[in-house]
Amino acid sequence: MNWNKLTSEAQLDTIKAESAKHPILIFKHSTSCSISHMALSRMERNWNDQLGVKPYYLDLLANKPISRKIENEFGVEHESPQVLLIRNGECVYDASHMAISFAGLQQAV
């Protein structure tokens, strides 16, 4: 799985534009949380590039302001860990904690 690192608020405009061409996944990961590590590992083990989703990874501890901006831009209350699926500039699916799964993402795509 090839993550695209989300490290600046300006990238959110790029993500919105890209989401008109193909779905975008944002994975909000807390590097100090065991549940977050487990959810990340499950997503990576099951990932399939043929789904056509471009994945972005946000390190929450290093980039807290970006997480707040995501919450405001997409209208999804912050949780950690959390995934958001962006299509046509809007969040069409989100899940957090143990609800994060590749199967759930697949159904949403």
Question: In the chain, where are the structural domains located?
Answer: 4-108
Pick the CATH number of 4-108 from 3.30.160.270, 3.50.50.60, 3.40.30.10, 1.10.10.520: 3.40.30.10
Q: How confident is the model at residue 11 (pLDDT cuts 50, 70, 90)?
A: very high
pLDDT tens track for 28-67:
999 999 999 999 999 999 999 999 999 999 999 999 999 9
| Sequence letter at residue 41 | S
**Residue 5: which H helix or E strand, with range?**
strand 4-5
Q: What is the pLDDT of residue 46?
A: 94
Residue 95, classed as helix, strand or coil, is: strand
Q: Structure pTM?
A: 0.95
The phi-psi region of residue 81 (left if phi > 0; otherwise alpha if psi is between -120 and 50; otherwise beta) is beta
Q: Is the pLDDT of residue 1 over 90?
A: no
